[in-house]
Structure 1
Amino acid sequence: MMPAAGSAPGRAPLRELSRRIGWATVTVEAREQLGTQVDALLDIITAYADELRDGLSVQAGWAPFMLVARGEDRFGVVAPDFVWAEVSPAQPPRVASAGPGDGLLGSCG
């Protein structure tokens, strides 16, 4: 896995893992400790080898992952940059969000 450009300061760097799937190379940027999960995600995407296209959405667990064209025969994989809210009966909800590159997987946000 190679270091990726979008790493947040103070966090483990994102790494790239690529696999040839059908006619294209699919690349995922993720924290190194997620290598097993990235392999599983690429296994799921492999089932769609005949359908690869820009914008293809694949459900893996509870999260959707989307292919983004990065050239004629290359795709990146992006995931939502989820937000979470802390709710207390005495106070209005407070919403927090990890900024781009703060998550464990490269995001589309």
Structure 2
Amino acid sequence: MTLEEIGRLCAAESPRLVVRAWMVDPRRGRMRLALRDGTYLDAHQLGADRYSYHWQRPGETVRRNNAPHFNHIDTALHHLHIGQEVRASPVRGVSEQDVRQVLRFIQSQIEGD
């Protein structure tokens, strides 16, 4: 999926969560999604194979990516950072399924607060 398609998918399927989506830096492949709780999610598509989702919350950063580190994790290179903790991640890129997984995770975290 392109970042523009991600923005449209998020707005269409998660209107209770996503307030607005826009390209922050098209040259570097970064889109920002403003979320209803006042936080934001940055989606990066770095070439054909690299991606990251960066969700910024007050006092906490949650990030999923496939940066080439943490090779000891079962899902390496794909992993999830929650603060300083690193976990395995089922997200594999920027497919519709991946985007939906990220949005479901964020929604569950917001509802759990």
TM-score by length of 2: 0.33
Per residue, is there more strand in 1 or in 2?
A: 1
TM-score by length of 1: 0.34
- Rg (Cα) greater in structure: 1
Per residue, is there more helix in 1 or in 2?
A: 2
